[in-house]
Amino acid sequence: MTVAASLQRAHLAALTPYASARRSMSGGAVWLNANEAPATPALATNETQLNRYPSFQSSALNQAYANYAQVNVEQVLSCRGSDEAIDLLIRSFCEPQQDAIMITTPTYGMYAISAQTQGAGVIDVPLTAAADGTLQLNVDEMLRAFNSSQQQIKLVFVCNPSNPLGNNVNLAELEHLIIGVGEQALVVIDEAYIEFAAQSNVQPLNHITQWLAKYPQLVVMRTLSKAFGLAAIRCGFAIANTDIIEVLRKVIAPYPMPQPCLDIAARALSQEGISAMQQALATTTAQRLAFIQAIAAKPWVKKVWPSCTNFVLLDVENAEQLVEQCRLGGVLIRNQSSQRGLDNSVRVSIGSEAEMQQLMEVLP
């Protein structure tokens, strides 16, 4: 046994880390496995003083995002992507070996991984099949589990729009959940793909952020990684009422984001940057619709899941074989078969027109 193995926190010995798209696969010329934008809208560069520590919280960036999300600047915390926001929430509100979070599989894997890393329990209430072919929240079962759990559930994570499914959550059911939880826990809505839902006329951009005025238990997570095409700068936001933000500010690192990243993020939230993002959104949406139309007739495709995001989930005959065939052709897609209820499924991110054409050429 190594020194590290003998000294690590006991629960980490059995922990399997999250296998990110970059961590689990390498190579390939076309990356369609991480839900990234195919390109970043051009932004002007400027000089910055790299010899100075960055701000703890950039007032310019937070104000720009507050304007974008239609909230007060005191309700915004900028951080290193939504992943840091998830970790901050668990570290701030969950006592190790005592408290728990609730998730609704299939969902984004980092909620459970972060909880397990911090020694918090994970209560899973799987999504349930709906008449429209989507999977939706099972709110009655969630509230039953919430009220009967031996561990106190401090955080309820809901991914909306869903990753890896691609559809939107029923908003009436979501509000029912928030009301049912009351002030006994925080309900965290992960809106990483909200711009795509707004572009598809599924949900207005700031519908949920406006609920902060009536639900003190609500937290909304956002990111610049998806629609804004800025995954490399790792910029995300936690949006909540000021009492929650103040707790998170106790835990976050003293200099959470590098100054060049702050500068780029602020420019992306300018009027010019938002306009460029919206143009890219329209292009990606058109590419998604074209891909769905092209793929639906393939005999090995068993189901095309509804999507309002920048990716499409497919049920296929043999997911492992399909992913390998694409990899050998230089195109990376994501196998989602390990997710609960998603046997033989793959997730395809929507790339540029040329990238999607290359994908179609390597598919069977």
Which runs of consecutive H residues, i.e. helices, occur in 228-270? Answer: 242-251, 259-268
Does domain 59-271 correspond to CATH entry 1.10.630.10? no
Distances, alpha carbon 72 to alpha carbons 112, 209, 274, 347, in Å: 30, 11, 19, 36
The pLDDT assigned to 10 comes to 64
In Å, how far from its chain's centre is CA 225? 9
| CA atoms of 61 and 266, how far apart (whole Å) | 5
Q: Under DSSP, is residue 54 helix (H, G, I), strand (E, B) or coil? A: coil
In Å, how far from its chain's centre is CA 48? 30
Helices and strands (H and E) in the chain: how many: 13, 15
Token pair 């955080």 is at which residue? 155
The pLDDT assigned to 163 comes to 97
Instruction: Tell me how far apart the terminal alpha carbons of the chain are, to the nearest angstrom.
Output: 46
* pLDDT by position in tens, the chain (length 364): 664 565 555 665 676 766 666 556 777 778 788 787 887 665 555 555 677 778 889 999 999 999 999 999 999 999 999 999 999 999 999 989 999 999 999 999 999 999 999 999 999 999 999 999 999 999 999 999 999 999 999 999 999 999 999 999 999 999 999 999 999 999 999 999 999 999 999 999 999 999 999 999 999 999 999 999 999 999 999 999 999 998 998 889 888 999 899 999 999 999 999 999 999 999 999 999 999 999 999 999 999 999 999 999 999 999 999 999 999 999 999 999 999 999 999 999 999 999 999 999 999 9
The pLDDT assigned to 46 comes to 56
Strand order from edge to edge, sheet including 334-335: 301-304, 311-316, 345-349, 334-335
Residues 256 and 279: beta-carbon distance below 8 Å: no
- Comparing CA positions, the residue from 241, 237, 187, 185 lying closest to residue 210 is 241
| CA atoms of 71 and 214, how far apart (whole Å) | 13
Residue 65 CB-density burial (10 A; 0-12 exposed, 13-18 middle, 19+ buried): buried
Other CB atoms within 10 A of residue 308 CB:
21
Q: Under DSSP, is residue 88 helix (H, G, I), strand (E, B) or coil? A: helix
Other CB atoms within 10 A of residue 294 CB:
14
* Peptide bond before residue 106 is cis, with ω within 30 degrees of 0: yes
The amino acid at 306? P
Token pair 């991480």 is at which residue? 34
Token pair 């925080």 is at which residue? 186
15: left (phi over 0), alpha (psi -120 to 50) or beta: beta
In Å, how far from its chain's centre is CA 179? 23
- Comparing CA positions, the residue from 188, 161, 164, 162 lying closest to residue 177 is 188
Residue 247 phi/psi, 5° resolution?
Answer: -65, -45
The pLDDT assigned to 182 comes to 95
Residues 230 and 261: beta-carbon distance below 8 Å: no
Q: What value, to the nearest 5°, has the Cα angle with vertex 234 and ends 228 and 235?
A: 65
Residues forming CATH 3.40.640.10 domain(s) in the chain: 59-271
- Comparing CA positions, the residue from 32, 15, 9 lying closest to residue 333 is 32
- Comparing CA positions, the residue from 335, 320, 311, 326 lying closest to residue 360 is 326
Q: What value, to the nearest 5°, has the Cα angle with vertex 332 and ends 329 and 336?
A: 130
Residues forming CATH 3.90.1150.10 domain(s) in the chain: 3-40+273-362
Which CATH fold topology does 3-40+273-362 show? Aspartate Aminotransferase, domain 1 (3.90.1150)
